[in-house]
């Protein structure tokens, strides 16, 4: 008897593998030493995560090449992607840094953490609470600061290469306010707390400076 489930899974994997291979060929990186291994590992991952946006797949491909030390191939992928090309250099800094990538992957894939250009501040990293998945427990007033601390500590990894030089832009405070009826004074206190968390991370990592925090909500 033919195992139709296994056959379907194999067909899905081949589709993803073919998709990645065609992109590598288009970008002229299919002959890279690690290209075949990256293709197969990504095909398995994509098979397990249906409906993956193209922008997320681009980050995973770029990260895979960065891990192998091929930043040039990673750059080609990022500059080919419409979502990431404007901030390719910022992404390369982050994707090639040594930190546990799975910690930030959910934020990257949800666009909850992304680079953005501001005329007044240059390129900064935005933590957008409108796109952060928070459980009911995370939103509870008694542990809100703990939730924000954990997120801020994870996000601090994007400044590994710059050793703390940079800015964290914060959006979506209105969403937090809706969860716990956050008053203006509490909002200021929460921003101060994020600054304190980043200062502690800078000290722990031996950075000479800590990222600043900028509220982007009007």
Domain ranges of the chain: 1-96, 101-218
Mean pLDDT check: name the lowest of 91-105, 137-151, 159-173, 191-205.
137-151
- The residue among 93, 65, 96, 59 whose CA lies nearest residue 78 is 59
- Reply yes or no on whether the pLDDT at 143 is more than 60: yes
Higher-pLDDT residue of 50 and 80 is 80
Higher-pLDDT residue of 95 and 185 is 95
- Reply yes or no on whether the pLDDT at 179 is more than 90: no
CA-angle at 52, arms to 94 and 88, nearest 5°: 30
At a CB cut-off of 8 Å and minimum separation 6, what does 179 contact?
134, 139, 141, 144
SS3 category, 98: coil
Model pLDDT, residue 186: 62
Question: Model confidence over 186-211: pLDDT tens digits?
Answer: 667 888 999 999 999 999 999 999 99
Buried b (16+ CB within 10 A) or exposed e, 27-44: bebbebebbeebbeebbe
Is 187 in contact with 177 (CB distance < 8 Å)? yes
Give the separation between CA 99 and CA 23, rounded to whole angstroms.
Answer: 27
- Reply yes or no on whether the pLDDT at 1 is more than 50: no
Report pTM.
0.88
In whole numbers, what is the pLDDT of the chain averaged over residues? 88
SS3 category, 169: strand
Residues 71-98 have a mean pLDDT of 94
Structure token pair of residue 110:
């949800």
Percent of the chain residues topping a pLDDT of 70: 91
**Predicted confidence band at 180 (pLDDT cuts at 50, 70, 90)?**
low
- β-pair partners for 105: none
Question: Model confidence over 7-44: pLDDT tens digits?
Answer: 777 888 898 999 999 999 999 999 999 999 999 999 99
Name the DSSP class of 99.
S
Name the DSSP class of 142.
G
Helix segments in 68-183, DSSP class H: 71-80, 88-95, 101-109, 144-155, 173-180
SS3 category, 168: strand
Residues 151-167 have a mean pLDDT of 94
């Amino acid at each position: 008897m033919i195992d139709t489930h296994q056959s379907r899974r194999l067909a899905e994997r081949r589709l993803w593998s073919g998709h990645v291979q065609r992109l590598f060929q288009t970008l002229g990186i299919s002959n890279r030493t690690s290209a075949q291994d990256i293709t197969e590992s990504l095909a398995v991952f994509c098979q397990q995560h249906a409906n993956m946006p193209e922008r997320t797949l681009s980050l995973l491909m770029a990260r895979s090449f960065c891990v192998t030390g091929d930043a040039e191939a990673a750059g080609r992928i990022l500059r080919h992607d419409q979502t990431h090309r404007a901030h390719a250099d910022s992404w390369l800094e982050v994707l090639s840094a040594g930190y546990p990538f799975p910690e930030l992957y959910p934020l990257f894939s949800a666009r909850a953490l992304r680079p953005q250009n501001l005329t007044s501040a240059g390129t900064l990293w935005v933590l957008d609470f409108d796109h952060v998945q928070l459980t009911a427990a995370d939103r509870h007033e008694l542990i809100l600061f703990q939730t924000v601390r954990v997120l801020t500590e994870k996000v601090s990894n994007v400044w590994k290469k710059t050793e703390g030089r940079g800015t964290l832009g914060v959006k979506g405070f209105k969403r937090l306010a809706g969860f716990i009826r956050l008053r203006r004074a509490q909002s200021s206190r929460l921003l101060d707390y994020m600054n304190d968390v980043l200062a502690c991370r800078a000290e722990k990592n031996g950075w000479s400076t800590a990222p600043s925090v900028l509220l982007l909500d009007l």
